[in-house]
């Protein structure tokens, strides 16, 4: 199995209804494809982890990367894994407040971020996502 973690920026406004539509579609597809993970959304920016069999994750990621509702997709981590961290969620979701970011983490959502720094500190993205594991719906 592998996991892929990426950040991206919405290119269109996402209302609650359009986020719900995106999530429903993603969860249906992910259940079908054996993909689990978590999606965080903050004020037009996304941070997502996908985990599952390599072929399924790669196919899903390729579809996501082509989706023109978001852009500037930056992969922070792609690793082999022996077990899932988000096995209970076809796609957990949390919408964060405009500036909500726990102290001590690099701000993955900041459009002005320095790519090298964010990639360098990618292990924080995993810790950050894991912090929402218990409360993703």
Query: Which residues contribute to the site for ligand FAD (CB under 6 A)?
Result: 8, 21-22, 25-26, 29-30, 39, 46, 48, 50, 60, 63-64, 67, 69-70, 91
E-state strands within 28-135 = 36-42, 45-52, 70-80, 92-95
10 versus 119: smaller Cβ distance to ligand FAD: 10
The secondary structure element, H or E, covering residue 8 is strand 2-10
CB 97, min distance to ligand FAD, A = 18
CB 24, min distance to ligand FAD, A = 10
33 versus 124: smaller Cβ distance to ligand FAD: 33
DSSP string for residues in 51-76? EE-HHHHHHHHHHHHH-TTEEEEEEE
42 versus 103: smaller Cβ distance to ligand FAD: 42
Task: Report how far residue 6's alpha carbon sits from residue 18's, in angstroms, rounded to the nearest whole number.
Answer: 20
21 versus 100: smaller Cβ distance to ligand FAD: 21
60 versus 108: smaller Cβ distance to ligand FAD: 60
CB 75, min distance to ligand FAD, A = 13
Give the three-class secondary structure for 126: helix
Angle at 58 between CA 87 and CA 117, to 5 degrees: 85
Q: What are phi and psi of 72, to 5 degrees?
A: 45, 50
CB 18, min distance to ligand FAD, A = 6
CB 25, min distance to ligand FAD, A = 5
């Amino acid at each position: 199995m592998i996991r892929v973690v990426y950040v991206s920026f919405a290119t269109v406004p996402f209302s609650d209804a359009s986020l719900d539509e995106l999530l429903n579609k993603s969860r249906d597809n992910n259940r079908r494809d054996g993909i689990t993970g978590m999606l965080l959304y903050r004020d037009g920016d996304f941070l997502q982890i996908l985990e599952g069999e390599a072929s399924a994750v790669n196919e899903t990621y390729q579809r996501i990367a082509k989706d023109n509702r978001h852009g500037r997709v930056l992969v922070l981590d792609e690793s082999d894994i022996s077990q899932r961290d988000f096995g209970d969620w076809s796609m957990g979701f949390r919408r964060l407040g405009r500036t909500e970011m726990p102290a001590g983490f690099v701000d993955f959502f900041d459009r002005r971020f320095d790519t090298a720094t964010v990639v360098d500190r990618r292990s924080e993205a995993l810790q950050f996502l894991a912090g929402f594991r218990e409360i993703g719906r």
